Amino acid sequence: MSTSRPPRLDRRQLIAAGAGVGAAVAGLTAGAKGAEAQARAPVKLSTPCVVSTWDFGVAANAAAWAVLAKGGAALDAVEAGARVPEADLKNHSVGRAGYPDRDGHVTLDASIMDQKGDCGAVAALEHIAHPISVARRVMERTPHVLLAGDGALQFAQEQGFKREELLTPESRKAWKAWLKEHRYHPVANSEVRTYGRELGLPGGKDNHDTLGMLALDGRGDLSGACTTSGMAWKLRGRVGDSPIIGAGLYVDNEVGAATSTGVGEEVIRNCGSFLVVELMRQGRSPREACREAVQRILRRNVTRDPDFQVGFLAVNRAGEVGAWAVQKGFSYACCDAASQTRILQSESFS
């Protein structure tokens, strides 16, 4: 993958593009964008199916598909799928190989939600390799939705999860290099820019993110999962959108499900995944709902970084899939009986 940075776009340019302004903005013509959008056929998967964010979602989907293809439940499928990137030592945006915060601590966030609206989550969890499974235990074995920090770790150990060191030698090397400059600058689409790369270069430019997964099983039930190691070099205690129900993940079995990726603060401010599902309830397709949610973030964006990225992925009860992002580069993986390795590029406003 190329490591070149995306073009810098002025915030007003992004907003204009999101609003569909007809004038050319930063070399983009809204009319051409509209024609391109109209030409793109909707993505329709057969039931059962599973979709997930980023190219590494293919491997996660394979694990989920092993459950769905045997008639298994969507909830079991998304947990099985999310555990794959959590254990992948090449993945520095999710799980045990994730980059640490600025103090050298690897802290993990995850959430899970089923067809009944039950949900569980953990935030700022240390020393446990599979936060998605701890999140499911929170959902099923406590009256709570979210456990955080030392309390989440205590609960995980009480549930039999093994405590271990999560800071890998490669991640430690990258963190030590970052300490030379102490420069924090999130970069869009780092999930694919950093996967499997040699580490240790100074600069700390990477903004790590999320595996979001949505599954529709043979009974027509939906479930979702979201797991992350969060932004690299973040302030200790920072929590993004991934463990926040309604922000990083939301499931409504009557309508559909949605998940997000990118700068979590922007998603939280707009209750992004809940917004996507509610827009689908109002009649939008998954694609239209994701587009409108991104557009709203652009209109209300308060970030000082013009290179920020946010993307949404959604599926409805009919198996229709849609995605949209602020910037190009957001990919997602689709899996059903016809194909288990399909990767699509999200539409975007740049």
Per-residue model confidence as pLDDT tens digits over 52-75: 999 999 999 999 999 999 999 999
What integer pLDDT is reported at residue 68 of this predicted model?
A: 98
The encoded tokens of residue 236 equal 């200790």
pTM: predicted TM-score of the whole model, two decimal places:
0.84
What integer pLDDT is reported at residue 76 of this predicted model?
A: 98
**107 in active site:** no
What distances in angstroms separate CA 335 from CA 65, 112, 250, one per listed residue? 7, 19, 20
- Angle, CA 272 vertex, CA 289 and CA 131 arms, to 5°: 125
Pinpoint the alpha helices (H) of 7-146: 11-18, 30-39, 57-68, 74-87, 131-141
What integer pLDDT is reported at residue 89 of this predicted model?
A: 86
Of the residues 53, 210, 228, 261, which is catalytic? 210
Q: Which residues of the chain have pLDDT under 50?
A: 1-9, 11-12, 14-15, 17-39, 189-208
pLDDT tens digits for range 328-337: 999 999 999 9
CA distance 224 to 75: 7
